[in-house]
Amino acid sequence: MYATIETQAAQSTQASQPTICIEGQDAWIAPQENISEGISAASAIFASHNVDPLDCEMANKKMIRGKELLTKEEALLSLIWEEAEYAAFHAITVGWLSRDIDIHISVR
């Protein structure tokens, strides 16, 4: 089973803002409150660096493909993506006994 969970509760609802989602095989396990906290944590990272989450996700996907070199800006955006994903994961799974969990962020 693979789940995608979206919430607007902790995000700006401006039309130009991308929606941060929580995805993964284990996303369905997390309570909605934890999902909201994870999205808030990721959003705070993007806001603190004043970057567009979609730009970060695109840079991270390019890095994962590994077929072309990243620019300095893309490398930085990819690191910010990793920081936001870790913050979301930690906020969602705090108190869980297992860390072998498939939960990650995406942008729509």
Q: Which two tokens stand for residue 36?
A: 């909201």
* pLDDT, position 4: 65
Q: Quote the CA–CA distance of 99 and 24 in Å, as a whole number.
A: 13
CA 36 to CA 19: how far, in whole Å? 12
Q: Alpha-carbon Rg of the chain, whole angstroms?
A: 14
pLDDT digits 0-9 by tens, 53-107: 999 999 999 999 999 999 999 999 999 999 999 999 999 998 887 768 899 999 9
Give the per-residue pLDDT at 48: 98
Given the structure tokens 């934890």, which residue do they identify? 34
Model pLDDT for residues 15-40, shown as the tens digit of each residue: 567 899 999 999 999 999 999 999 99
pLDDT confidence band for 5 (50 / 70 / 90): low
Reported in sequence order, the residue ranges of 2-62 that DSSP labels E, i.e. its strands, are 3-6, 20-24
Distance of alpha carbon 95 from alpha carbon 14, whole angstroms: 33
**0.85 cut: is pTM over it?**
no
